[in-house]
Amino acid sequence: MDDLRSLDVSCLCGAVTHSFSVPVGSLPLASNLCSCNISRRISGSLLTSYVNITHSPDTKRPNLEALTPYRSSTILTRHFCSTCGTQMYLEYDQDGHFEAATGTIQADNTDNIVEWKTQMWIEDTVDGGASAFVTKMNGQTLRRFLREANQSPEAPLDWKSAQNTKKGNIIKRSIRCHCHCNGVEFYISHPNEASTTAKSPWPDLIIPYHADSSDNPKNTSWWLPRPNRYLAGTCACKTCRRASGFDTTYWAFVPTKNITQDADGTKPFTRDQYWGTMKTYSSSPGVKRTFCGRCGANVFWDGRDSLVDVAVGLLDAPSGARAEEILSWWTERVSFCEDALNKGLIKGLETGLKQWAATNEGVNDHPEDA
């Protein structure tokens, strides 16, 4: 009989914890990077992943008292922390087994605990999404599937849906953003003169906090790498990981003047009373994270006077999940990569981002960028 290893999972605030045991011989636990519409909308992330925590009929069931259930499809229920919003579990109808979000695992690292096997549901992204950012891990090429892993056609690296729209042909309407249940909805307008008036220190994404000062005395508009696009990037910090439940988060940096609650732009962004089903959790002094209280979607990281981080998975852009008609992706670094729980995943992401940039995929084909 295999020896057992005990593992723990927890949300950001600590209200939800669970211990489970897995046979040592089953490690690392298999997982897939998922790009499906449901996962993006309930997380705000472009890639989600889970591992099975039910390895025998007598496995202890997680305590669900501090969690909010959300029925996201006909086959399963999702559970997220009611206090901090961390996506914790999938509970499957067919056999009642539970899976835990990989970013909730409590360990020094998970390189020997989790092994990502494939990318799946790429079809839902329209443009390939973040699957194009992580093509290899630990020297192994990840197989890519349009829908369910190992049960649907494979997708080539340059896959794009016939629905993908050339960015030069997209009318510059505001981009609608919403969670899965539509309890949170807002709009991002394209950059304009007002976008340059925001103020912010440099983010760790560009200037690592451990290496240099984040002061921005000249108030360089780093959030506008191009006049017509906002900066977007990836983060592996401990707090984002535990707040979302997933190993990487995907943020767009948008001035509050370019965020409205309605398509007409008559209802501005407000901090004193967030709208819809948004709930807040203060993850550190001066920082509020917002999430949907109904489906758990990560929405904002709000810690700057005139600029907020928007979860990219909520954008409903015509071009696809990467929203390149309005976002320009930073490919030089994963923010707080030093804090990564799974070094293999983040190394694969950083390498993949650079390779993606080297092909200029989706970067230089916009007429206004010429």
Q: Which string of DSSP letters, residue by residue, matches 89-100? A: EEEETTT--EEE
Residues 13 and 125 in one domain: yes
- Same domain assignment for residues 107 and 189: no
pLDDT score, position 365: 39
Residues 90 and 128 in one domain: yes
Q: Which structural domain range is residue 360 located in?
A: 174-369
Q: With respect to residue 219, please indicate whether it lies within any of the assigned structural domains.
A: yes
Q: Which alpha helices (H) appear in 185-298, and where do they start and end?
A: 238-244
Token code pair at residue 142: 């990840």
Residues 128 and 241 reside in one and the same domain? no
Query: 201 and 65 share a domain?
Result: no
SS3 240: helix
- Which of 100, 122, 144 is a domain's end point? 144
Predicted pLDDT of residue 170: 62
Same domain, 363 and 220: yes
Write the DSSP symbol of residue 196: G
**Are 230 and 336 contained in the same domain?**
yes
DSSP state of 195: G
- Tell me, yes or no, whether 179 and 323 share the same domain: yes
Is residue 155 a part of any domain in this protein?
A: no
Work out the angle at residue 116's Cα, subtended by the Cα atoms of residues 357 and 87, and round it to the nearest 5 degrees. Answer: 95
What's the distance, CA 354 to chain centroid?
19
37 CB burial (10 A radius; 0-12, 13-18, 19+): middle
Q: Residue 149 falls within a domain, yes or no?
A: no
**Residue 156 forms part of a structural domain:** no
312 within a domain of the structure (yes/no): yes
- 358: burial class by Cβ within 10 Å (0-12, 13-18, 19+)? exposed
The domain that holds 181 is classified in CATH as 2.170.150.70
Asked if residue 235 and residue 133 are part of one domain, the reply reads no
Same domain, 187 and 322: yes
> Is 76 within the bounds of a domain?
yes
User: Would 160 be classed as within a structural domain?
Assistant: no
Q: Residue 258's closest CA among 329, 319, 177?
A: 177
Same domain, 241 and 302: yes
Is residue 331 in some structural domain? Answer: yes
pTM above 0.85, yes or no: yes
Q: Does residue 283 come out as left (phi exceeding 0), alpha (psi in the -120 to 50 range) or beta? A: alpha
Number of folded domains in the chain? 2
Distance CA(117)–CA(257), nearest Å, equals: 42
Final residue belonging to a domain, choices 104, 129, 144: 144
Mind listing the pLDDT tens digit of every residue in the chain (370 residues)? 568 899 999 999 999 999 999 989 999 999 999 999 999 999 999 999 999 998 766 678 899 999 999 999 999 999 999 999 999 999 999 988 999 999 999 999 999 999 999 999 999 999 999 999 999 999 999 999 999 999 999 999 889 987 776 555 566 789 999 999 999 999 999 999 999 999 999 999 999 988 778 899 999 999 999 999 999 999 999 999 999 999 999 999 999 999 999 999 999 999 988 999 999 999 999 999 999 999 999 999 999 999 999 999 999 999 999 999 999 999 999 999 999 999 999 999 999 999 999 886 544 333 334 3
**134 plus 186 within the same structural domain:** no
